[in-house]
C-alpha cells in the first residue's frame, strides 16, 4: 500500500473513532453524528483524489470564530456548555481536514480527536470503550509514524500544494506494520503499568457526568404491574462476587436482593409511608458500620458492581453489617431500606459484609433509631384498601383462628403456591386486580402473588409488607460471580412474627421459563470481561492498588522460595526431576530448533525487518533488470558511474535513457531532491523504453 494512502486513511480513521466515541456516550445526537461521519467520508474521497486540503480564505480564522460566534450562540440559544464545546470541536475537526496552511496542521486534527475521545470516556464506561481505546491508540501511533515520514520528505511547514503528492511512490510493507505494532504493544504495557501504579484520586465529576435510564419499580411509589414490565428487559443490573474466608463462595441457588419495602396499598399502587430513621455520612474507601449481629453464622463479603441504574436504592442480601462504595451519604427507613442521597449516576461499586444466616430481628444500629416496630406491628402494616366482601370472607377460611401467626403465614403461602406463573396479565373482568387474580385467573407473576399474600395476611391480623428487589439465580462459572438482570426483578412478602421479627415469605411458584436463557461460553467470557473492565479500570481504587501490591508480594515471596529450593538441588536431582517429565525435554528441543531455524527463514526476515528502498533505488533496480534481459550485467563491485563506462555497445537512444535514469538515481538517492509526479511518470516511461 502506498505511503500517502496509509497516511490519509489513518487520519480519517482516527477522526471516525473520535466521533464514534462521542456517539457511543450519547454526547451528540445520532443524526448529528451520522452527518459528521458522512462529511468525513466525503472529505476522505476528496483528499484521496487530491482536491483537498486547500489553503483557507484570508478571512477564515478559527480563533475569531471561537471568540465571536460562540458567545453569540450561547447567549441567543442558551445551549448546554457541553453541547457548545463538543459542536465547536467537531467544527474544528472538519475544518482542519478541509483547510490546511501547512503539513503541521494534521497534528491539530490529532489533538482534537484525543479531546473527543476523552469527552467520550467520561460518558462511556462500558467495555466497548476498551476496544475503541485500543484501536485509537494503535491508529494514532501509526498516524504519527506516517506523519513523520511525510515531514522527512518536505518538512513540517510545507504548503498543501507541496505535500499533496508526497508518498505516492513509496510503499508501506507488512514489515513496517509488524515491527511498529510490536513496539506499540510494548508502549501500551508500559502505559498500563503506569495506570495501575499511579496513585488514585477521587474524581467525582466523572461519576456525575454519566447517564442512566430510569427504571420503575424501585421507588417509594410503585404501580401494580410495573415490576412485571421490568422483567421483560434482559439488561444486566449488577454483577456480584462473593468471598468467604478469602475464598470464592457460591451462595444458595435462590438469592433475594432486597430493594424497597412498601406498606401502603390503595388498590392500584403500592407506596412507602415509613419515615427515615437513620442517616450517616460516608467516606469512600472506609467501611460504614450498619447492623451489629451478636452471633454471626455465615459472614460473606460481597463486591457489587452495578451498571447504570437510575435508583438510589442499595440492594442487600442477608443482614448488611458493613458497607463501602462510591457514595457520600447513606440513609435507612423504618423498613430497613438503604438508599444513597447523592445525585451520582452511572456504574457504581459497593463492598458489603453481610451475615447470610441472620434474621432481621437480631441486630442493632450504631446510632439507635426508634425500633419499636420490631416489638409490635405498626398500624401502617395492617392498612387495607377498600376490599370486596368476597375477599374479606375468603381470607379467614385459609387459616384457623387458633393458629399462631407463623403457621397462618405458611398456610396462606402454600395456598398461593398452587397457582400458576404467567407474565400475561391482560384483564378479563371488571373485578379488582387482586380479586381477578385470586378467584378467576389464578395465574400471574410475582407482584400479584406478593400483593395477594400481604392483603390476606393483613385481613387475618398479621402485619405484612411487600418487598421489591431481584432474585439472583444466574451464575457465571468462568468468573465465579452472580449476574443479576432486570428480568430477575422479583416481589415477595415480609410478615411480622411475634418474637421472631420480620420473616421472609415468597409465595410465587417457579417460573417454567426461568432456565431458558443460559449463557453460552462466548457470552460468559464477554460478560466476565465486562466485569473485569468495571473492576480493574472504571472502578479501580486505592484499595485495589493495595490488594495488587499484596498479591505481587505474595507471588514474589513464593517465587523466591522456589528459587531457593532449585538452588539447593544438585545436578543429579535436576536430571531425575526432568527424567520424569518427558514433555519438558520435547519442549526444550522444539524451542531450540525454532531459535536456530526461524531467524534464517524468509518469512521471519520478510515480516519483521525488510526496509523499503526509496523510489530512486527501486527505479535503478528496474533498469538493471531490463539490461540483464539484454545480457548486460552490472558487476557487484562496480559503482553506477563505472557501470556506465561499459555500456558503449548499447544503441544511442537506449544509452540516453540509462544516462538519464542514472542521473535521477544519483540526485535522489544520495541528495535531498524530491521527485514530483511528472518526473516519476517520465522515469517510468524511460524504463519501459529499455
**How confident is the model over 542-551, as a mean pLDDT?**
74
Average of pLDDT values for 113-127? 90
Of residues 602 and 495, the one with the higher pLDDT is 495
Contact indicator for 200, 541 with CB cutoff of 8 Å = yes
Cβ neighbourhood burial of 29 (10 Å; 0-12, 13-18, 19+): exposed
**pLDDT exceeds 60 at position 332:** yes
Distance CA 383, CA 404 (A): 21
Please name which of 690, 618, 604 lies closest in space to residue 653, comparing C-alpha atoms.
Answer: 690
Model pLDDT, residue 290? 93
Angle between helix axes 3-24 and 81-98 (nearest 10 degrees) is: 170
CB neighbourhood size of 305 (10 A): 22
CB half-sphere exposure, 49, CA atoms < 13 A: 6
- Establish how many alpha carbons lie within 13 A of residue 606's alpha carbon, considering only the half-sphere containing its beta carbon: 3
CA nearest neighbour of 318 among 238, 240, 258: 258
Give the tens place of pLDDT for each residue, 268-317.
Answer: 999 999 999 999 999 988 999 999 888 888 999 999 998 877 788 999 99
Q: How far apart are CA 272 and CA 263, in angstroms?
A: 5
| % of residues, the chain, pLDDT over 90 | 46
Q: Work out the average pLDDT over 573-590.
A: 71
More confident residue, 601 or 636: 636
- Per-domain residue ranges for the chain? 3-198, 221-534, 615-689
Say if residues 364 and 291 touch (Cβ distance below 8 Å).
yes
Question: Longest Cα pair distance anywhere in the chain, in angstroms?
Answer: 127
Q: What is the pLDDT of residue 606?
A: 47
pLDDT at residue 467 tops 80:
yes
Cell of 218: 424501585
User: pLDDT tier at 358 (50, 70, 90 boundaries)?
Assistant: low
Provide mean pLDDT across the span 89-113. 94
pLDDT of residue 216: 54
Which residues does 178 contact at the CB level (< 8 Å), separation at least 6?
Answer: 607, 608
| Nearest C-alpha neighbor of 313 from the set 446, 211, 220, 212 | 220
Interatomic CA distance for residues 87 and 73, integer angstroms: 11
CA 208 – CA 342 distance, rounded (Å): 9
pLDDT band at 608 (very low <50, low <70, confident <90, very high): very low
| Cβ-contact 571, 384 below 8 angstroms | no
pLDDT beyond 80 at 171: yes
Helix (H, G, I), strand (E, B) or coil at 470: strand
Task: Tell me how crowded residue 196 is: count the other CB atoms within 10 A of its CB.
Answer: 14
pLDDT above 70 covers what percent of the chain? 87
Specify the 3-state DSSP secondary structure of 671. coil
pLDDT score of 672: 58
pLDDT at 416: 97
Tally Cβ neighbours within 10 Å of residue 296.
Answer: 18
According to the model, what pLDDT value does residue 515 have? Answer: 57
Strands of 173-310, DSSP E: 221-223, 236-244, 247-248, 255-262, 264-265, 269-271, 276-281, 288-289, 299-306
Nearest to 92 by CA among 55, 69, 63, 51: 63
Q: Give Cα separations from 492 to 229, 449, 455 (angstroms).
A: 16, 8, 13
Mean pLDDT in the chain?
Answer: 85
CA distance 17 to 13: 6
Across residues 420-425, what is the average pLDDT?
87
- What is the pairing mode between strands 489-497 and 329-333? unpaired
pLDDT value, residue 34: 96
pTM of the predicted structure, to 2 decimals? 0.70
The pLDDT tens digits of the residues spanning 191-217 come to 888 887 776 654 444 444 444 554 555
Give the per-residue pLDDT at 204: 43
**How does residue 369 score in pLDDT terms, banded at 50, 70 and 90?**
very low
Three-state helix/strand/coil letters over 40-60: HHHHHHHHHCCCCCECCCCCC
Lowest mean pLDDT among 65-74, 400-409, 478-487, 560-569: 560-569
What pLDDT score does 362 carry?
Answer: 45
Length of the chain: 690
Residue 596 pLDDT > 80, yes or no? Answer: no
Rg over alpha carbons for the chain, rounded to the nearest Å, is: 36
In this prediction, residues 312-332 reach a mean pLDDT of 93
Tell me, what's the pLDDT at 613? Answer: 66
Query: Are the C-beta atoms of residues 448 and 490 closer than 8 Å to each other?
Result: no
Query: Nine-digit cell at 114?
Result: 484525543
Cα–Cα distance for residue pair 145/687, rounded to 1 Å: 32
Per-residue pLDDT for 507 more than 90? Answer: yes
Task: Give dist(CA 86, CA 47) in Å, integer.
Answer: 25
Which pLDDT belongs to residue 209?
45
pLDDT, greater one: 25 or 690: 25
Beta strand residue intervals within 366-505, DSSP E: 420-421, 443-444, 464-472, 474-476, 481-485, 489-497, 501-505
**Which pLDDT band holds residue 436 (cuts at 50, 70, 90)?**
very high
The answer, yes or no, to whether the previous bond of 513 is cis (omega within 30 of 0) is: no
Degrees to nearest 5, angle at CA 638 with 632 and 644: 55
What pLDDT was estimated at residue 152? 87
How far, in Å, CA of 507 to CA of 492, rounded? 7
Tell me the CA distances in angstroms from 471 to 50, 282, 393, 468, 520, one per residue in order.
61, 28, 33, 10, 21
Which alpha helices (DSSP H) does 124-247 contain, by range?
Answer: 128-154, 160-163, 174-197, 204-209, 226-230
Q: Which one has a higher pLDDT value, 653 or 415?
A: 415
Could you identify the residue written with the cell 465547536? 88
The answer to whether 296 and 358 have CB atoms below 8 angstroms apart is: yes
CA neighbor of 302 nearest in space, from 316, 290, 291, 281: 316
Q: Is 340 helix (H, G, I), strand (E, B) or coil?
A: strand
**More confidently predicted of 187 and 59:** 187
Question: Which phi and psi (to 5°) does residue 201 adopt?
Answer: -125, 150
Amino acid at each position: 500500500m502506498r505511503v500517502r494512502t496509509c497516511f490519509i486513511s489513518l487520519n480519517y480513521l482516527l477522526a471516525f473513532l473520535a466521533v464514534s466515541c462521542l456517539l457511543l456516550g450519547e454526547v451528540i445526537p445520532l443524526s448529528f453524528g451520522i452527518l459528521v461521519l458522512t462529511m468525513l467520508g466525503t472529505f476522505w474521497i476528496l483528499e484521496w483524489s487530491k482536491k483537498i486540503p486547500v489553503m483557507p480564505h484570508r478571512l477564515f480564522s478559527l480563533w475569531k470564530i471561537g471568540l465571536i460566534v460562540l458567545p453569540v450562540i450561547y447567549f441567543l440559544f442558551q445551549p448546554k456548555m457541553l453541547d457548545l464545546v463538543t459542536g465547536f470541536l467537531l467544527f474544528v475537526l472538519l475544518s482542519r481536514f478541509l483547510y490546511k496552511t501547512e503539513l503541521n496542521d494534521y497534528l491539530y486534527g490529532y489533538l482534537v480527536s484525543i479531546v473527543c475521545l476523552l469527552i467520550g470516556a467520561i460518558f462511556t464506561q462500558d467495555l466497548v470503550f476498551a476496544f475503541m481505546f485500543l484501536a485509537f491508540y494503535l491508529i494514532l501511533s501509526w498516524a504519527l509514524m506516517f506523519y513523520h515520514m511525510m515531514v522527512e520528505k518536505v518538512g513540517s511547514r510545507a504548503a498543501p500544494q507541496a505535500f499533496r503528492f508526497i508518498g505516492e511512490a513509496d510503499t508501506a510493507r507488512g514489515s513496517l506494520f509488524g515491527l511498529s505494532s510490536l513496539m506499540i504493544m510494548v508502549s501500551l504495557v508500559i502505559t498500563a503499568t503506569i495506570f495501575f501504579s499511579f496513585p488514585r484520586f477521587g474524581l467525582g465529576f466523572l461519576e456525575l457526568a454519566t447517564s442512566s435510564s430510569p427504571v420503575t419499580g424501585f421507588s417509594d411509589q410503585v404501580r401494580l404491574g410495573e415490576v412485571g414490565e421490568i422483567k421483560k428487559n434482559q439488561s444486566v443490573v449488577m454483577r456480584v462476587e462473593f468471598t468467604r474466608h478469602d475464598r470464592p463462595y457460591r451462595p444458595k441457588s435462590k438469592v433475594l436482593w432486597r430493594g424497597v419495602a412498601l406498606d401502603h396499598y390503595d388498590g392500584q399502587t403500592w407506596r412507602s409511608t415509613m419515615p427515615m430513621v437513620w442517616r450517616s455520612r460516608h467516606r469512600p474507601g472506609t467501611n460504614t458500620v450498619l447492623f451489629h449481629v451478636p452471633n454471626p453464622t455465615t459472614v460473606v463479603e460481597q463486591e457489587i458492581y452495578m451498571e447504570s441504574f437510575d435508583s438510589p436504592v442499595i440492594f442487600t442480601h442477608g443482614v448488611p453489617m458493613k458497607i463501602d462504595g462510591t457514595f457520600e451519604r447513606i440513609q435507612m427507613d423504618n423498613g430497613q431500606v438503604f438508599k444513597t442521597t447523592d445525585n451520582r449516576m452511572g456504574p457504581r461499586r459497593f463492598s458489603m459484609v453481610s451475615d447470610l444466616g441472620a434474621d432481621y430481628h437480631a441486630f442493632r444500629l450504631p446510632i439507635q433509631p426508634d425500633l419499636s416496630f420490631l416489638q409490635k406491628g405498626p398500624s401502617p402494616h395492617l392498612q387495607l384498601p377498600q376490599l370486596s366482601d368476597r375477599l374479606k370472607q375468603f381470607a379467614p377460611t385459609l387459616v384457623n383462628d387458633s393458629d399462631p401467626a407463623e403457621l397462618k403465614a405458611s398456610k396462606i403461602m402454600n395456598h398461593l403456591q398452587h397457582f400458576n406463573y404467567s407474565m400475561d396479565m391482560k384483564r378479563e373482568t371488571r373485578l379488582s386486580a387482586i380479586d381477578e387474580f385470586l378467584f378467576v385467573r389464578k395465574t400471574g407473576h410475582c407482584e400479584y402473588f406478593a400483593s395477594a399474600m400481604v392483603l390476606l395476611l393483613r385481613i387475618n391480623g398479621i402485619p405484612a409488607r411487600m418487598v421489591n428487589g431481584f432474585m439472583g439465580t444466574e451464575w457465571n462459572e468462568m468468573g465465579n460471580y452472580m449476574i443479576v438482570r432486570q428480568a430477575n426483578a422479583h416481589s415477595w412478602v415480609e410478615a411480622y412474627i411475634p418474637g421472631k421479627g420480620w420473616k421472609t415469605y415468597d409465595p410465587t411458584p417457579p417460573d417454567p421459563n426461568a432456565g431458558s436463557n443460559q449463557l453460552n461460553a462466548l457470552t460468559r467470557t464477554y460478560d466476565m470481561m465486562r466485569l473485569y473492565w468495571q473492576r480493574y479500570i472504571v472502578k479501580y481504587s486505592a484499595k485495589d492498588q493495595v490488594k495488587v501490591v499484596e498479591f505481587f508480594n505474595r507471588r514474589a515471596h513464593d517465587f523466591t522460595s522456589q528459587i531457593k529450593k532449585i538452588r539447593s538441588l544438585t545436578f543429579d536431582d535436576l536430571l531425575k526431576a526432568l527424567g520424569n517429565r518427558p514433555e519438558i525435554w520435547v519442549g526444550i528441543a522444539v524451542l531450540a530448533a525454532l531459535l536456530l531455524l526461524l531467524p534464517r527463514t524468509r518469512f521471519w526476515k520478510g515480516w519483521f525487518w525488510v526496509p523499503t528502498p526509496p523510489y530512486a533505488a527501486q527505479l535503478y533496480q528496474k533498469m538493471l533488470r531490463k539490461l540483464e534481459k539484454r545480457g548486460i550485467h552490472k558487476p557487484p563491485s562496480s559503482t553506477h558511474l563505472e557501470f556506465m563506462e561499459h555500456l558503449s555497445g548499447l544503441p544511442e537512444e537506449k544509452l540516453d535513457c540509462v544516462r538519464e535514469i542514472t542521473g535521477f538515481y544519483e540526485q535522489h538517492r544520495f541528495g535531498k531532491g524530491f521527485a514530483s509526479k511528472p518526473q516519476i511518470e517520465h522515469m517510468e516511461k524511460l524504463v519501459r523504453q529499455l
